[in-house]
């Protein structure tokens, strides 16, 4: 039985405070953006931060998601549905005296139009690599290529994570249950090893992080994060791709490229799974499918499909 009503504003703020501690920065920002949209919608419906949560009806929730579906996409609507539903689950779990229906859980998912992930050609990757003037930027690009690492994993990479004697790299990821960091050991490719050793000796600022902000502006003034590890580098890839004259791609697309190169060169899905560090083989299968990769299907189709163009007389 409820003791006190929970207001919309209190619910949202408490959950976001929890998310900021529990989840990655990217996940937290996504949830914060979701609540910003949802709260604006509720305000348009004459609800505010002091309104009781019981006033959020399933009809209101459905209307909100339908708007997201029409104005943004089915994927965006389902993302908001998932995030707000998680906030309802959190509420009933941690405020055990407060029992509330989760309307978003009762709403069916919206149809999504699946798109193939963009994979830059290998030649485009090297054009971008050669367009870099800064040796650290070049090192960062090939580190993405040889590790299939995620952006956050490489931005927080330290020299102690690299074992040059055993030829291993430890990548710390938060993309797991409970939001905890987990360490995955991957092999250190010989080509990358030498580049890392050279950079360690030449790094202008001796710091624990491998990649640091060492840029200055046009008048030589250090960047505000000078000497600190990168956080986002939002515009870097777009600028360098434009400079190289190739279709823009981001850091994560290099992860796709690594998986593609391995797969096209005969690596089994199980090997691709290891380098991508997916816990479940099904995740890797879906990943490869999203990249448009299925060598077995191509081989089967080419070997068993009749050559109808050379047998037209048979009709």
Contact between 146 and 153 under an 8 Å Cβ cutoff? The reply is: no
CA distance 30 to 77: 13
Contact between 156 and 172 under an 8 Å Cβ cutoff? The reply is: yes
CA distance 301 to 61: 46
This model's pTM is above 0.95: no
The string of pLDDT tens digits covering residues 123-170 is 999 999 999 999 999 999 999 999 999 999 999 999 999 999 999 999
* pLDDT at 278 (0 to 100): 86
314 has pLDDT over 50 = no
185 has pLDDT over 60 = yes
Residue 261 is encoded by which pair of tokens? 């190169």
Express as a percent the part of the chain with pLDDT over 90.
59
What strands, in cross-sheet order, belong to the sheet with 182-187? Answer: 162-163, 168-173, 182-187
Residue 213 is encoded by which pair of tokens? 């902000």
Of the candidate ranges 92-106, 160-174, 235-249, the one whose mean pLDDT is the lowest: 92-106
pLDDT category, 39, cuts 50, 70, 90?
very high
209 has pLDDT over 70 = yes
Helix, coil or strand: residue 158? strand
Contact between 13 and 59 under an 8 Å Cβ cutoff? The reply is: no
CA distance 57 to 45: 11
Contact between 83 and 30 under an 8 Å Cβ cutoff? The reply is: yes
Helix, coil or strand: residue 128? helix
CA distance 204 to 212: 10
pLDDT category, 287, cuts 50, 70, 90?
confident
Per-residue DSSP letters for 303-314? HHS--GGG-GGG
* pLDDT at 93 (0 to 100): 85
67 has pLDDT over 90 = yes
């Amino acid at each position: 039985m409820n003791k006190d009503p929970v207001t919309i504003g209190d619910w949202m703020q408490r959950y976001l405070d929890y998310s900021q501690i529990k989840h990655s920065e990217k996940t937290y920002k996504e949830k914060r953006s979701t609540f910003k949209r949802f709260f604006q919608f509720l305000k348009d419906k004459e609800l505010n931060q002091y309104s009781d949560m019981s006033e959020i009806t399933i009809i209101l929730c459905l209307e909100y998601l339908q708007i997201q579906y029409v104005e943004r996409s089915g994927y965006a609507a389902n993302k908001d549905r998932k995030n707000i539903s998680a906030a309802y689950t959190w509420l009933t779990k941690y405020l055990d005296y407060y029992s509330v229906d989760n309307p978003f859980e009762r709403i069916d998912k919206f149809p999504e139009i699946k798109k193939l992930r963009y994979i830059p050609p290998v030649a485009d990757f090297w054009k971008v690599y050669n367009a870099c003037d800064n040796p650290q930027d070049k090192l960062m690009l090939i580190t993405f290529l040889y590790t299939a690492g995620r952006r956050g994993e490489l931005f927080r990479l330290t020299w102690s994570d690299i074992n040059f004697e055993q030829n291993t790299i430890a990548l710390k990821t938060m993309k797991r249950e409970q939001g905890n960091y987990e360490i995955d050991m991957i092999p250190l490719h010989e080509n990358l090893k030498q580049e890392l050793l050279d950079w360690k000796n030449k790094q202008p600022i001796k710091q624990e992080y491998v990649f640091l902000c060492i840029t200055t502006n046009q008048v030589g003034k250090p960047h505000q994060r000078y000497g600190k590890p990168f956080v986002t580098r939002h515009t870097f890839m777009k600028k360098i791709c434009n400079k190289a004259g190739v279709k823009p791609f981001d850091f994560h697309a290099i992860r796709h490229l690594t998986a593609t190169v391995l797969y096209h060169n005969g690596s089994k899905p199980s090997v691709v799974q290891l380098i991508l560090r997916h816990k479940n083989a099904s995740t890797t299968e879906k990943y490869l499918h999203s990249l448009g990769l299925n060598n077995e299907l191509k081989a089967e189709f080419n070997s068993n499909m009749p050559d109808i163009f050379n047998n037209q007389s048979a009709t």
